[in-house]
Amino acid sequence: MKLLLVVNPSASSVTARTRIVIQKALSADHRLEVAATSRRGHATRLAQSAANDGFDLVVVLGGDGTLNEVANGLAGTETALAALPGGSTNVFARTIGLPDDPVEATGSLLDALEAGSTRRIGLGAINDRYFLFHAGVGFDAAVVEQVERQGGFLKRFAGHPLFVVATINTWLRHYNHKKPSFHISSSSEDAAQERFEANGMFAVCLNTDPYTYLGSREISFSPETTLHTPLAIVNFRSLSPSRLLPVLAASLGLGNNHISDSNIIDYQVHVTEGSITGHGPVPWQVDGDYLGTEKEFNFRHEPEALNLVLPLGTRDIY
């Protein structure tokens, strides 16, 4: 096979030694080329060029942001995507069942390639930007912005504690948690679910589950949403700590409740399309990558949009 390894040298788990070991492993039985990213959007262009040049597979050694860029470059093509965990959280790599160690994950990838474990998966899209696992509008995007403001050094070494601190700081100083930020509406292919409309302070559109991880623990919003189902929408109408804590507990699997049991949550699955209209500019992020602010958002499910290499014995996400 003809492989391109896209490396984000700034990702938290990417070291020179790790990169060399992975390159040697991938090149043993495959024709390998290597490219390092140097700026935002570079990985998308590298992926597009690889697809145009007939590469069979693009392997990403980096975090979720780099992985998202490559997915956007490969969507709609026959060139497949493979993930190797190189970031601080690696939500998508963990979701599909890859080991946390990038060298160990390379062994899993090679086993999957030998077995032909490639599947066509659906993607979510918001304002024509594809996402692999989720897109967020409102509060969580504001949190991501604050994390990115800290620069690569803190993100590289502080990891999850930085996100916790940023969440508290954003709630206190950088986001209006007293009134709604937007109006959301969405449609489901499930006839039993009517189109819903509501105001919100934070909405997440899920292409799979979990939403993210807190340490080693999943924050699960919609366990029934997988890479072969349409999207799920979770809309928060309040950011009151006393009302959010039970939701967080439920998402962590503490107790018998689901987040949809909360009276501050709008929850809809099998979503095919929808829209969000901000009451002013609203921050947004895709797959943990902050993209700025907008007033209008349109989202949809794009079935069978991307070829993805899945590790053998992965859990039922497809």
Spans of all domains in the chain: 2-116, 129-302
Q: Supply the Cα-derived Rg of the chain in whole angstroms.
A: 19
Give the residues across from 275 on adjacent strands: 185, 298
β-bridge partners, 34? 5
* Pairing mode, strands 196-200 and 212-214: unpaired
- What pLDDT is recorded for position 57? 98
Topology at the third CATH level for domain 2-116: Rossmann fold (3.40.50)
What integer pLDDT is reported at residue 159 of this predicted model? 57
* pLDDT band with cut points at 50, 70 and 90 for residue 89: confident
pLDDT at 160: 64
**Helix/strand/coil for 257:** coil
In CATH, what class is 129-302? mainly beta
Give the DSSP letter of residue 172.
Answer: I
Cβ neighbors of 123 (< 8 A, separation 6 or more) are 71, 75, 130, 131, 132, 207, 301, 302, 305, 306
User: Which tokens belong to 201?
Assistant: 């302070």
Q: Is the pLDDT of residue 314 over 80?
A: no
pLDDT band at 317 (very low <50, low <70, confident <90, very high): low
Report the pLDDT value the prediction gives residue 152, as an integer from 0 to 100. 55
Q: Give the residue with greater pLDDT, 292 vs 165.
A: 292
pLDDT of residue 191: 67
Tell me the pLDDT band of 13, cut-offs 50, 70 and 90. Answer: confident
DSSP H or E stretch at residue 291: strand 289-309
Residue identified by tokens 């699997």 is: 253
Q: Tell me the pTM.
A: 0.93
User: Is-same-fold flag (2-116; 129-302)?
Assistant: no
Confidence of residue 154 (pLDDT cuts 50, 70, 90): very low
